[in-house]
A and B are shown apart, each in its own frame.
Chain A
Amino acid sequence: MRKTRIAIADHAAEAILFNRRIVFSVIVVLVLFLVLLLNLYQLQVVRYEEYSTRADGNRIKLVPLSPNRGMIFDRNGVLLAENSPVHSLELIPEQVADLPATVTALSALISIDADTQERFYKDVKKQRRFKSISLKEHLTEQEVAILAVHLHQFPGVTLEARLTRNYPYGDLLTHALGYIGKINEKEYQALEAAEVSANYAASRDIGKSGIEKFYESQLHGTVGYQEVEVNSRGRVIRTLRDQPAISGDDLYLSIDLGLQLKAQEALGENRGSVVMLDPRDGSVLAFYSNPSYNPNLFVHGISGKNYNLLLNSPDRPLVNRITQGLFPPASTIKPLLGVLGLESGTVTEQTRIPDPGFYRLPNVSRRWRDHVEWGHGYVDIYTGIIKSCDTYFYHLAYKLGIDKIADFMTKAGFGRPSGIDLHEENEGNMPTRAWKRAKHKQNWGPGDTINIGIGQGYWQATPLQMALTTATLVNSGGRITPRLARNFHNQQQDQSLLVPLEQAITVVDPNNWAISREAMYRTAHQEGGTARGAFLGATYTIGGKTGTQQVINIAAGQKYNAKAINVRHRDNAMFIGYAPHDKPEVTIAVVVENAGGGGSNAAPVARQMLDYYFSPQYNAPKLPSIAEIAVIQQQRYDAMVLREQAYAEEAAREKAAKEARKAAELQRKSGNAIIPDANSLPPQTLPAGQTSPAVATSTEQTATESNPSPPTTTEEKPIDE
Chain B
Amino acid sequence: MSNQEHQTRWQRWHIDIPLLSGIVILLLVALFTLYSADGQDLVKVEGQALKMIFALGIMLFLAQIHPNTFRYWAIPMYIGGLVCLLIVEFFGYTAKGSTRWIDLGFTKFQPSEMMKLAVPMAVAWYMAKHPMPPRNRDLLTGFIICAIPTLLIAKQPDLGTSILIAMSGVFVLFFSGMSWRIIGVLVALIAAFLPVLWHFLMYDYQKRRVLTLFDPEQDPLGAGYQTIQSMIAIGSGGFEGKGWMQGTQSQLEFLPERHTDFIFAVYAEEMGLMGVMALLALYFFVISRGLIIASQAQDNFSRFMAGSITLTFFVYVFVNIGMVSGILPVVGVPLPLISFGGTSLVTLLAGFGILMSISTHKRMLANQ
Contacts and interface: CB of A to CB of B under 8 A. Distances in A.
A59 B253 CA distance: 10
A307 interface: no
B280 A37 contact: yes
Nearest to A229: B252
Contact of A55 (B248, B280, B295, B311): B248
Given A52-B238, A231-B252, A21 B232 contact: no
B159 interface: no
Interface of B: 130-133, 135, 174-175, 177, 229, 231-239, 248-249, 252-254, 268, 272-273, 276-277, 280, 283-284, 287-288, 291, 294-295, 300, 303, 307, 310-311, 314, 318, 321-322, 325-327
B232 A55 contact: yes
Contacts of B327: 35-36, 39
Interface in A13-29: 13-14, 17-19, 21-22, 25-26, 29
A48 B232 CA distance: 9
Contacts of A44: 234-235, 237-239, 268, 272-273, 276
B289 to A, nearest CB: 12
A58 interface: yes
B234 A7 contact: no
A614 to B, nearest CB: 71
A710 to B, nearest CB: 65
A378 B226 CA distance: 100
Given A47-B235, A58-B252, A231-B253, A25 B303 contact: no
A434 to B, nearest CB: 63
A233 B248 contact: no
Contacts of A54: 232, 235-236
Interface of A: 3, 7-10, 13-14, 17-19, 21-22, 25-26, 29-30, 32-33, 35-37, 39-41, 43-45, 47-48, 50-52, 54-56, 58-59, 229-233, 237
Given A22-B295, A25-B311, A230-B252, A14 B132 contact: yes
A137 to B, nearest CB: 33
Nearest to A237: B252
A232 B254 contact: yes
A43 B234 contact: yes
Contacts of A36: 280, 318, 321-322, 325, 327
Contact of B307 (A22, A33, A58): A22
A51 B237 CA distance: 9
Contacts of B135: 3, 7
Contacts of A30: 284
Q: Considering the complex of A and B, which 7 residue pairs feature the smallest CB-CB distances, nearest first?
A: A51-B235, A55-B236, A9-B131, A231-B252, A43-B235, A232-B253, A44-B273
B175 A33 contact: no
16 contacts: A10-B131, A22-B307, A35-B327, A36-B322, A37-B280, A39-B326, A43-B325, A44-B234, A44-B237, A51-B231, A51-B232, A52-B238, A54-B236, A58-B252, A230-B252, A231-B254
A230 to B, nearest CB: 7
A48 to B, nearest CB: 5
A41 B238 CA distance: 9
Contacts of A37: 276-277, 280
Contacts of B272: 44
A639 to B, nearest CB: 57
A548 to B, nearest CB: 72
Contacts of A58: 229, 232, 248-249, 252, 254
Given A22-B307, A26-B291, 10 more contacts: A7-B130, A14-B300, A18-B294, A26-B288, A29-B291, A37-B280, A58-B254, A59-B252, A232-B253, A237-B252
Contact of B236 (A3, A17, A48): A48
Given A44-B272, A237-B252, A25 B239 contact: no
A25 B291 contact: yes
Contacts of B177: 14, 17-18, 21
Contacts of A9: 131-132
Contacts of A19: 295
Contacts of B291: 22, 25-26, 29
Contacts of A47: 235
A55 B233 contact: yes
Q: Is the interface of B mostly helix, strand, loop or mixed?
A: helix
Nearest to B274: A44
Nearest to B304: A18
Contacts of B295: 18-19, 22
Given A14-B132, A21-B175, A40 B276 contact: yes
A18 B239 contact: no
Contact of A48 (B174, B238, B288): B238
A8 B310 CA distance: 28
A56 B303 CA distance: 50
A229 to B, nearest CB: 7
Contacts of B326: 39, 43
Contacts of B130: 7
A43 B254 CA distance: 18
Contact of B325 (A22, A25, A40, A52): A40
Given A21-B175, A58-B254, A59-B252, A48 B287 contact: no
B131 A14 contact: yes
A35 B294 CA distance: 25
A21 B307 contact: yes
A50 to B, nearest CB: 7
Nearest to B255: A232
Interface centre among A9, A44, A48 (most CB of B within 10 A): A44
A17 B178 CA distance: 10
B175 to A, nearest CB: 5
A136 to B, nearest CB: 32
Nearest to B175: A21
Contacts of B283: 33
A40 B314 contact: no
B69 to A, nearest CB: 22
B253 A233 contact: yes
Contact of B254 (A21, A32, A59): A59
B231 A43 contact: yes
B249 A48 contact: no
B245 to A, nearest CB: 14
B205 to A, nearest CB: 22
Given A8-B131, A21-B175, A58-B248, A52 B280 contact: no
B240 to A, nearest CB: 9
Contacts of A21: 174-175, 177, 307
Contact of B235 (A25, A26, A52, A229): A52
Contacts of A29: 284, 287, 291, 311, 314
A436 B167 CA distance: 96
A27 to B, nearest CB: 11
Nearest to B315: A32
A54 B238 CA distance: 13
Nearest to B234: A43
Nearest to A9: B131
Contacts of A32: 314, 318
A31 to B, nearest CB: 11
Nearest to A55: B236
Given A59-B248, A59-B252, A18 B238 contact: no
Contacts of A25: 291, 307, 310-311
Given A29-B314, A59-B252, A230-B252, A40 B234 contact: yes
A393 to B, nearest CB: 78
A228 to B, nearest CB: 11
A8 B326 CA distance: 48
A33 B272 CA distance: 17
Contacts of B288: 26
A482 B241 CA distance: 67
Contacts of A39: 322, 325-327
Contacts of A56: 248
A5 to B, nearest CB: 12
A717 to B, nearest CB: 70
B239 A48 contact: yes
Nearest to B133: A17
